[in-house]
Amino acid sequence: MTPFRTRLREAVAAHGPLCVGIDPHPGLLAAWGLDADAAGVERFARGAVEALAGHVALLKPQVALFEVFGGAGMLALERVLADARDAGVLTVADAKRGDIGSTMAGYARAWLADGAPLAADAVTLSPYLGVGALAPALDLAVATGRGVFVLARTSNPEASGVQSAQAWVGGPGGSPRRMREVAQSVVDALADHNAAHRDGPGDGAAGVVVGLTRGTTGRDHGLDLSALGGPVLVPGLGAQGGTPDDVAAVFGGADAPDGPGGVGGPVVPVSAREVLTAGPDHRALRAAVGALNGTLTG
């Protein structure tokens, strides 16, 4: 399979940088005239895929909002991911998985293995059992041409005590040990991974999640992403308070083919409710995507 970063670049070039989160919150289900149950979630999410395939670079189903309905909810998610594959639209499963050993290997196979019922083009991962513990997912992403987005700097205020903590770590490329923020050490480890797979099937497979509404000044994430060589997923646009101007201020703009500052991107801002409140009318959903993409690239 063509590497995920290449496919994402092509999708961004064709449809703009926006990623739409498929977040079937009860309020949105009600606004669409749907019940807050597995059937309503399935109609909502599959309707979003039908409306937005061919009009958006990336779709991001929020796994927790399917999982809450048990097996029926997860079956709905399988169908949503299958619809997206059939329609040729890229997906990132927002599962935030992270564990050790055979458990991590199981998560990797669930979300990244060829033929797996829940296989997506990429999955979000949590690195706080150690980036090295994510090796099964990183390795399988390389083998299958898929991607991962690893949490680096998130928007929630509770994260700062962990992500901003200082630790002695080795620098990128085996450079001497030094004090680094934990969030920066995550970026550095993934930069090393990407460098080791440059120009191969796993080129740029490891991306990061950096919240748009979190940073030392509110408009500065405080990370050095210049060596990452992979994409950046940027939640927080719209209902969470982030604006297209913030994307430009924090990342130097979202429309550069390889991301600003040599990130190796692309940089992909995420919005969910700002787009989905336009539904269920398909034309209105597409218009909302078009308007937001226009402000991101204009």
CB 172 within 8 A of CB 191: yes
Neighbours of 240 (CB within 10 A): 17
CB 182 within 8 A of CB 160: no
Strand partners, 29: none
Which residue type is seen at 29?
L
Choosing from 96, 109, 273, 282, the catalytic residue is 96
Give dist(CA 140, CA 119) in Å, integer: 12
Number of H helices and E strands in the chain, helices first, is 12, 10
Give dist(CA 244, CA 255) in Å, integer: 11
Q: String of b and e for 130-150 (b: at least 16 CB within 10 Å)?
A: ebebbbbbbbbbbbbbbbbbb
| Residue 96 appears among annotated catalytic residues | yes
Kindly state the tokens that stand for 240. 């969470």
CB 91 within 8 A of CB 84: yes
Q: Cα-atom radius of gyration of the chain, to the nearest Å?
A: 18
Strand intervals (E) in 133-285: 147-153, 166-170, 177-181, 206-210, 232-234, 267-271
Kindly state the tokens that stand for 110. 């669930």
Place of tokens 């994510």: 134
CB 153 within 8 A of CB 165: no
Task: Write out the catalytic residue numbers.
Answer: 96
